[in-house]
Amino acid sequence: MERKHFLKSLLMGAASAPVLLSACGKDTVSPTSSTSSTSGTTGTTGTSGSGSCTVAPTETEGPFPTKTPASYVRSNITDGKTGYALTITITVNNANASCAALAGALVDIWHCDAEGNYSEYGGTGMQATNYQAVHFLRGRQVTNAAGQVTFTSIFPGWYSGRATHIHVHVYSATGTSLKVTQIAFPEGSGTAVAAVNGYAKGLSGYTSNASDNVFSDGVALELATVTGSTTAGFQLSWALAVPA
């Protein structure tokens, strides 16, 4: 109650009063000074070049915003993207503590969809996007006491020049970057990569781990264990050690 009153008084004091002042005092406010003083932060007091004024808000107050975590913070990152189900389990250990499980670390992952595309701003970078589902196949979780995070996603497709992979960024609980790396997939007959067969575009022109310029220096540490099938879905598990 007190907080609400406080906020209200802030609003009344900081926003509304100048709004009324600048809206009514058009004779004394030059267009340039009022433009620079609003800077779009209040947005309701914009004065046109001719020096005329706009109305102040005259409606029921609201909406009342609530603190919301980044859209990345979720376990299911599919956002309606279709593909073979993939459960991703990542275990983070502390290289500075005999590889004990590291709890409380932030783990970001991102990967491409079945066609090989990432969520990002399109083409020119200036095109506005629909506000829903703009961050598909990107997620963030905090490791539990066992150092584990789990994501529900789809099996990544592939794109020219790269083997199938998932990006991983591990941060400390306070947000300091500890490791940026990528998860590699086993390949060859009998593997999940062979079973998925590159989705619609097949595997013609696919880059193997050995030819991939990220994994070609030895893939042992990045290589995940992947089990399952196209009908039952796949399970990926992978562990890494970070200096924390």
Partner 1 sequence: MPDRTICLCYRKIIDASSTRPWDKLVWDDSYVEFRLQAQNFNPENRYRSFGEILHYMPGAERLHFLVSGAVTGYVQQLSERMPDILNNLGRHFLRFERFQFELINSDLQDQSKHQVAVNFVSAPLHWHDTVGPFLLVSEATAVPAAGEVLTHLVQLQPFLSIYSIQKPESDASANAG
In the complex with partner 1, which residue's Cβ is closer, 56 or 239?
56
In the complex with partner 1, which residue's Cβ is closer, 175 or 188?
175
Query: In terms of C-beta distances under 8 Å and separation of at least 24 residues, what long-range contacts does 127-131 make, across chains too?
Result: none
* Residue from the set 1, 2, 5, 41 that interacts with partner 1 by CB under 8 A: 41
- The DSSP secondary-structure symbol of 207 reads P
CB 149 within 8 A of CB 118: no
In the complex with partner 1, which residue's Cβ is closer, 122 or 190?
122
| Least Cβ distance, residue 35 to partner 1 (angstroms) | 5
In the complex with partner 1, which residue's Cβ is closer, 169 or 201?
169
Q: List C-alpha distances in Å: 191 to 91, 117, 123, 126, 187.
A: 22, 22, 35, 41, 6
Using CB under 8 A as the binding rule, whether residue 173 contacts partner 1 is answered as no
| Adjacent-strand bridge partners of 108 | 140, 169
* Residue from the set 42, 75, 87, 152 that interacts with partner 1 by CB under 8 A: 42
Using CB under 8 A as the binding rule, whether residue 215 contacts partner 1 is answered as no
3-state secondary structure of 15: helix
State how far the Cα of 148 lies from the Cα of 141, in Å rounded to an integer: 9
State how far the Cα of 2 lies from the Cα of 189, in Å rounded to an integer: 67
* Residue from the set 1, 2, 27, 69 that interacts with partner 1 by CB under 8 A: 69
Angle between helices 17-24 and 31-38 (to 10 degrees): 160
Residue ranges in 127-166 that form contacts with partner 1 under rule CB under 8 A: 127-132, 134-135, 138
Residues forming contacts to partner 1 in the complex (CB under 8 A) are 7, 10-11, 14-15, 35, 38-44, 46-48, 50, 52, 54-59, 63-72, 106, 108, 120-121, 125-132, 134-135, 138, 169, 171, 175-177, 180
